[in-house]
Amino acid sequence: MAGAVRTLGARVLDDTDAAALRRLLAADPVSHCTVAARVHAGGLRSHSPAGEIWGYGAPELVGACYSGANLVPVGSRPQALRAFADRARRLGRRCSSIVGPADAVQPMWEQLEPDWGPARSIRPRQPLLAIRATPLIAADPAVRRVHTDELDTLMPACISMFTEEVGVSPVGRDGGAFYRARVAEVVAAGLAFARIVDGRVVFKAEVGAVSPDVCQVQGVWVDPAYRGRGIGAAGMAAVVVAALRDIAPVVSLYVNDFNQPARSTYTRVGFERVGTFMSVLF
């Protein structure tokens, strides 16, 4: 009976919880950008194929957790994290990663590891960065939004980026159809940016999450043959300029702490550290 009570403590939120969840997300808009983006785009439909959001606490929410392709906790209250870990364990692992603020992901993973471990990769310290002003360096004028008819040109760069970053190829048993569809959605939304030279992508980045307050850049990649020339910094400056103008008042991203070239690039652009993320990859 005690186990059942704990499971009931983490409930699936619906649209009646929207105001309470928005208050919780507003406590740290940069850290909670990806969950806020889900709520902004689709509300809290409990049976959405994109995933569901769990909540803990009544009458006021003190914690939440997005459960879909990723498991993303919101808030670091120990009792809420225990409830989310318990629910996730009982449902079985359906996500490819746990990602979010390190002070929430770490204790959740400690509780889930006996059942879900070992993880394929753990990245415990990922600086969370943000910028809200004009970049410190000049933007690359050749970086622009990718057109829908350029999807075939973009895909090899996306596959290379994913494989480098995650450690496995996104081309699975379906021949990459699912991943291609995801990239196509980003392109169609005008959220994919690239510099293309003679039909070859030499820099790219996508805005992967958009809330009213913050957008998060993902998938930053420079062709290996062009690295070390400052293309990444100028390209990121161009993405920041476009995003601040057209998408959200704050641009954020997170980066592996061991990727010193990328960290130096973002510092040159003007990003500042605002927190620490952690990722557990399966």
List the pLDDT tens digit at each of the 282 positions of the chain: 344 334 458 999 998 999 999 999 999 999 999 999 999 988 886 555 678 999 999 888 999 999 999 999 999 999 999 999 999 999 999 999 999 999 999 999 999 999 999 999 999 999 999 999 999 999 999 999 999 999 999 999 999 999 999 999 999 889 999 999 999 999 999 999 999 999 999 999 999 999 999 999 999 999 999 999 999 999 999 999 999 999 999 999 999 999 999 999 999 999 999 999 999 999
- What pLDDT does residue 24 have? 97
Residue 256, token pair as written in the block: 């592996």
Task: Output the six-digit token pair for 146.
Answer: 């990718």
d(CA 83, CA 95): 17
Give the Cα separation of 176 and 5 in Å (integer). Answer: 41
Q: How many Å is the Cα radius of gyration of the chain? A: 19
pLDDT reported for residue 59: 81
Q: Measure the CA dihedral 216/217/218/219, to 10°.
A: 170
pLDDT attached to residue 2: 41
pTM for this prediction: 0.93
Placement of tokens 């990239």 in the chain: 183
Q: Are 205 and 236 in contact (CB under 8 A)?
A: yes
